[in-house]
Structure 1
Amino acid sequence: MDSRILSVGIFVALMLSSLLAGRQGYLGAKEEITADLNQALLRMVEERQGNIVTQDSIRAYKRLRQVSDGEVWLAIADRKLCRNLKNQKLKDKTFLSFNIVDEVCSGNFPESDMISSDTLIVNHKATGTTLAVRSYTRLSAIWIFRMSDQRWSSLLAFVALLWAIGSMLRMRKKNVSGEVSSYGGLFYSSANECFYDAHHVSIDFTPMQHQLMRMLWHAPSHSMSKEAICAALWPKKTDANNTLYTLVRRLKPILETCSELQIVAHRGRSYSLEIKKKTECQDNVRKMSASFFTER
C-alpha cells in the first residue's frame, strides 16, 4: 500500500475517532443535565408535599386556556427547584412548567429543543387538581459542549495533528533524500530532479544551468564532449561554442560556492565535473578569511 494513502487513512481514522468521542461527550453531558433536572424536580415535589405551584398559578392557567382556546405553556422560575440542582451553571437557566390533566388536556407538553426532565404526574392537594410537571433548562449547543468532557476528543485531535505534521515532514524528507546521489559535496535527488548543497538547501540554477548540470552529472565519469553538449542544449545552432563558454563561465562561481566541484575544460574538447584539490580549497578559505578581516 502507498505510504501516503496509509498516512491519510490513519489521519482520517484519528479525526473520525475524535469526532465520535466529542459527540459521545456531548450526549453524555445532555444525559447528566437531564438526570440533574430529574433529581431536582423530585426533591422539590417531596419538599412541597404535592403543593408544587400556587392556587393562583392554577387559576391563571385555566383562564389562559379558556381565552386562548388552545395549549398554554407557563414557564415559572422556581427558586427551590434551582437550589436543588447540583450543577451550579444551570440555576439561572432552569424553570418549571406544568399542565392540568383533565378531559381537555392529557398533560402532554409541546415539543421543544430545550433539555427537559421526565414528566411527573402529581395531585395538587389544595385544589385536588392533577398536574403534569416538568422542568426545563435553556442551554445552547455551545454551552452543552463546554460543559461536556472532551478530553478524549481533544487528545485524539492532538494526536491526529501530530500525525499529520509528522507525515508531511517524513514525506518531505523522503522526497529530498529518496534516490539521492552525491558527488563533491553536491547532492542530486532524482525524485524531484533538484540539486542540494550539504545543508539540504536547493540550489537555484537557471534552466540552462540546471540542464547542463544534469547532463554532466549523469554522464560517464561526469564528462561530456563539447559537441554533445551543444547538440543537446542548442540543436538548432550551427555554432554554439561561445554560448556554451558563457554558460560555463556563469555556472562556475555558483558551483564552486555551494560545493567542492568545479567545471574543467579539457583543451576545448570536453567539459567535466571534478572535485577541487585540497590545496585549491585551502587557498579559497585563506582568501575568504583574508577578505573578511580586511573588511573589518
Structure 2
Amino acid sequence: MNKLRYGMFVPLAFMIASLISSCFSYSNARQNIADDLNEAMFAFANENRELWTRQDTIAALRKMHETTHKPIIYQASDVNFRNAALKEDAYFILALVDKRTTAPKIKGHKIASDSIMLIPENNISGVAVQLQGFADCSMASVFAASDQTLPGVFFSLSLLSIVSMYIWRRKETEPITELAVEVPSIPSLTGIKLTPMQRQLAQMLLDAPDMKVDKATLCSALWGNKSNAEESLYTLVRRTKAALSVANMEIVCNRGDSYELRVIS
C-alpha cells in the first residue's frame, strides 16, 4: 500500500511538469507576438517617418485629439508580419505627445509592442508622435499558436502512469487462488446391502494399504483355522463382488495370492 501511495507522486509530477511547460510555451508565444509587433512597427515607422513628422500631420493629430480625445488607429492589414494571422488582429496607435498632451492608455488584455517617439526636425515646441503596436489576440488563439509538444508529452506520460498504477493495483488486490489439488475420495460401504461376512471382507480390503490383503490373512481373520477356508473365501468373494458392483467397486484377484478392492471410475 505504501508503494502505491508513493507511486501516485509519479503521475502528479508529470501533470505539474505538463502544466508548467504549457505556461512557459504560452508565455513564449505571447512574447513572439510582441517581438513580431516590434519588428513590424519599426519597419512601418521607418517607411512613413517623414509623413508622421510633417507639421500638417502634427496639426491634424492635435486637432483630432482636441475633438475626440482619442488617438489615430491604423489597421495593419498591409503590414508584413512573420505570423501572417496578425494582419487581422494587429493595429498601430498614433498619438501626439507634448507638454500638454500625453498618450492615452489602451485598456483591455492586449499584446503590446514597445513604443517609439517620432520627433520632427526643428522641433521647438517639444512635440512628438508616439507609435505603438497592439494585437487583439484571445487566450485561445495564443494557446493555439504556442508549441504544446512538450506539455503534451508530459500529459501523456501522466495518463500512462495513472493507467499503469491502476493495473498494478488491480493485480495487487486480486485474491491469490490456490491450485485445487484433486484428492481422491475414500470409498464407503454405506448404503450397500451386504451380509455381515461380506461387510467384514469388504471393510478389511477397504482399510488395508492399497486396499489389498493376502488370502492367508483374510482366511485367518474370517474363519480362523478352518480347513476349507480358501474355498469359503472364493465363494464369499464371488458373492461380495455382485453386491459391490452397484457401488462401482470390484474385488480383483492378484496372481491367486491376494485380493484387492478397486473403485471403477
**Per the shorter chain, which TM-score range?**
0.5 to 0.7
**C-alpha distance in structure 2 between counterparts of 1:126 and 1:265, whole Å:** 125
State the one-letter code of the partner of 2:51: N
Q: Which residue of structure 1 lines up, in the alignment, with residue 21 of structure 2? A: 21
Which deviations, in whole Å up to 9, do the C-alpha atoms of 1:119-170 show, x marking residues without a partner?
1011256999511110111110000001001111000000000000011011
Note closer, same or farther for the CA distance 1:33–1:170 as it changes in structure 2 (3 Å cut): same
Correspondence 1:100 to 2:104: no
**C-alpha distance in structure 2 between counterparts of 1:23 and 1:60, whole Å:** 44
**C-alpha distance in structure 2 between counterparts of 1:127 and 1:265, whole Å:** 123
Unaligned runs of 5+ in 2: 191-265
Q: Which residue of structure 2 lines up, in the alignment, with residue 131 of structure 1? A: 129
Note closer, same or farther for the CA distance 1:6–1:131 as it changes in structure 2 (3 Å cut): same
Aligned partner of residue 75 in structure 1, secondary structure? strand
Tell me, yes or no, if the aligned pair for 2:96 and 2:128 is still in contact at 8 Å: yes
Which protein is bigger by CA-based radius of gyration? 2
Quick one: higher RCO (CA 8 Å, sep 6+), 1 or 2? 2
**C-alpha distance in structure 1 between counterparts of 2:66 and 2:49, whole Å:** 28
Correspondence 1:74 to 2:72: yes
Q: Which residue of structure 2 lines up, in the alignment, with residue 7 of structure 1? A: 7
Where does 1:200-215 land on structure 2 (aligned, <5 Å)?
none
Which deviations, in whole Å up to 9, do the C-alpha atoms of 1:196-244 show, x marking residues without a partner?
xxxxxxxxxxxxxxxxxxxxxxxxxxxxxxxxxxxxxxxxxxxxxxxxx
Note closer, same or farther for the CA distance 1:54–1:75 as it changes in structure 2 (3 Å cut): farther
Aligned partner of residue 42 in structure 2, secondary structure? helix
Note closer, same or farther for the CA distance 1:262–1:2 as it changes in structure 2 (3 Å cut): farther
Which deviations, in whole Å up to 9, do the C-alpha atoms of 1:46-85 show, x marking residues without a partner?
22234248878755543343234xx4243211345x22x1
Aligned partner of residue 117 in structure 1, secondary structure? strand
**C-alpha distance in structure 1 between counterparts of 2:143 and 2:153, whole Å:** 16
**C-alpha distance in structure 1 between counterparts of 2:187 and 2:159, whole Å:** 53
Q: Which residue of structure 1 lines up, in the alignment, with residue 174 of structure 2? A: 176
Q: Which residue of structure 1 lines up, in the alignment, with residue 46 of structure 2? A: 46
How many pairs does the alignment contain? 188
Tell me, yes or no, if the aligned pair for 1:184 and 1:261 is still in contact at 8 Å: no
Pick from 98, 113, 120 the counterpart of residue 117 of structure 1: 113
Correspondence 1:166 to 2:156: no
Cα drift, residue 13 of structure 1: 1.1
**C-alpha distance in structure 2 between counterparts of 1:263 and 1:113, whole Å:** 85
Note closer, same or farther for the CA distance 1:262–1:121 as it changes in structure 2 (3 Å cut): farther
Tell me, yes or no, if the aligned pair for 2:76 and 2:88 is still in contact at 8 Å: no
State the one-letter code of the partner of 2:42: L
**C-alpha distance in structure 2 between counterparts of 1:265 and 1:131, whole Å:** 113
Cα drift, residue 93 of structure 1: 1.2
**C-alpha distance in structure 1 between counterparts of 2:54 and 2:173, whole Å:** 77
Q: Which residue of structure 2 lines up, in the alignment, with residue 249 of structure 1? A: none
Note closer, same or farther for the CA distance 1:125–1:13 as it changes in structure 2 (3 Å cut): same
Tell me, yes or no, if the aligned pair for 1:50 and 1:123 is still in contact at 8 Å: no
Cα drift, residue 111 of structure 1: 3.8
Tell me, yes or no, if the aligned pair for 1:28 and 1:148 is still in contact at 8 Å: yes
State the one-letter code of the partner of 2:143: F
Tell me, yes or no, if the aligned pair for 1:122 and 1:130 is still in contact at 8 Å: yes
Note closer, same or farther for the CA distance 1:158–1:126 as it changes in structure 2 (3 Å cut): farther
Cα drift, residue 8 of structure 1: 1.8
Q: Which residue of structure 1 lines up, in the alignment, with residue 30 of structure 2? A: 30
Tell me, yes or no, if the aligned pair for 1:51 and 1:124 is still in contact at 8 Å: no
- Root-mean-square deviation (CA, aligned residues, Å) is 3.3
State the one-letter code of the partner of 2:40: A
Cα drift, residue 110 of structure 1: 2.9
Unaligned runs of 5+ in 1: 186-259, 268-296
State the one-letter code of the partner of 2:96: I
**C-alpha distance in structure 2 between counterparts of 1:263 and 1:41, whole Å:** 96
